[in-house]
Amino acid sequence: MNDIIAVVSEFFAGLESRERLFLKIGALVLAILMVVMLLLPRLEVYFQLKGQADALKADMSWLQEKRELVAGLANNCQTIRNQDDSLKTDLSSLVRRNQLEIVSSAEKDNVFSLTVSGTKSNQFLKLMHQIACRGYMLDKVALTSEVDDLSKIKARFEVQRVN
């Protein structure tokens, strides 16, 4: 090791002062370039992760702003325990509960057709909502008013079980 230092010292002693200055400046520039080349990949990763963190923070704040909206989108169906009632029995009790009358009913290929009459249109809407909350799917709905009495409404539903 001492031999290498002696050779380098002897080499520098044989150079002029401006050549020594150029070599010192060159060594300094080379050292700076090495440090930059070592730090550059880490800086790139840092800025990439910082950008991702900023994007995630923005997403999180947007989600927190929309939390109340999403909570309001939940349906207002009451939790209904699974009942062992048949489709016909369940629908009949829903119709009676909404103070409507069953005109006719028929079942074919897991589709239950039901014709209901009543005088209050809101009761039909409540009935459709309750049918949907029970886990049934309304395939077809047709509302008509009676020809001789416009206050009397008839509704024909086609219902099938979803779950």
| pLDDT in the model for residue 32 | 95
pTM of the full predicted structure?
0.50
pLDDT digit string (tens) for 122-135? 888 888 888 888 87
| 3-state SS assignment for residue 149 | coil
pLDDT digit string (tens) for 133-159? Answer: 887 888 888 888 877 777 788 889 898
Report the C-alpha gap between 125 and 157 in whole angstroms.
12
Q: In this structure, how many other beta carbons lie within 10 angstroms of the beta carbon of residue 131?
A: 20
Helix (H, G, I), strand (E, B) or coil at 145: strand
